[in-house]
Amino acid sequence: MNTLIIIAISVVAILIAVTAVVFAVLSVASSQVTVIEEPIEHVEPVITESGGGHTIDKTIQVQGSGYSVKYRIDGNAIITDSIFKEESNSVIITLDAITSGSLIIEIPRTLIDSGHTNCDPNYEREEPFAVLIDHEEVFFEEIATTSEKRTLSISFEENTKTIEIIAFCLI
């Protein structure tokens, strides 16, 4: 019985720590604005056959990082910008969402990773990302994980403007 109480207290402490980190990141993210004056180069979609259907893989350069990410959007929306923010260890995606839909995005672990080898001390464990849509935390699904990338599925509503994927460590 005492073990269950200790576990419950530990879980509550972790949830409080996660909430504190998310609020701290939100405070930093909402106070900083990055303006990019040059247009982003988009790579044309590559369409491949997959099990009788079509998979569309698009790639966009993440400004400020030297990396590209692969993505797919289901719904009537387009990505207009993507920026790496080193100070918050996040990627901000700007989009024009005419309808609700979903974003499937492959995040290279070398760009951002949550709780893997970027933690100090060097933890070898995975932690979930935090995802904000228009500065509000939302639920998402991590649909694939490899040693090179993590793939997220993020649902969004009509008129969504930004999706921010934040990597952080719980210590």
Question: What are the residue boundaries of the structural domains of the chain, listed by start?
Answer: 2-166
The rounded radius of gyration (Å) of the Cα atoms in the chain is 17
Mean pLDDT within 70-96: 92
Is residue 134 over pLDDT 80?
Answer: yes
pLDDT in tens, 139-171: 999 998 888 888 999 999 999 999 999 987 643
Both ends of the chain: CA-CA distance in Å?
27
Report the pLDDT value the prediction gives residue 99, as an integer from 0 to 100: 95
Is residue 108 over pLDDT 80?
Answer: yes
Confidence of residue 121 (pLDDT cuts 50, 70, 90): very low
Q: Please report how many Cα atoms fall inside a 13 Å half-sphere around the Cα of residue 108, on the Cβ side.
A: 13
Residue in 30, 24, 9 with CA at minimum distance from that of residue 92:
30
Report the pLDDT value the prediction gives residue 76, as an integer from 0 to 100: 93
Is residue 38 over pLDDT 80?
Answer: no
Residue in 51, 77, 87 with CA at minimum distance from that of residue 155:
77
Of residues 135 and 52, the one with the higher pLDDT is 135
State how far the Cα of 45 lies from the Cα of 19, in Å rounded to an integer. 38
Averaged pLDDT score across all residues of the chain = 74
State how far the Cα of 131 lies from the Cα of 166, in Å rounded to an integer. 6
Q: In the chain, what are the helix, strand and coil shares in percent, each to the nearest 5?
A: 20, 45, 35
- 97 three-state secondary structure: strand
- 42 three-state secondary structure: strand
Report the pLDDT value the prediction gives residue 81, as an integer from 0 to 100: 93
Is residue 135 over pLDDT 70?
Answer: yes
Percent of the chain clearing pLDDT 70 (strictly above): 58
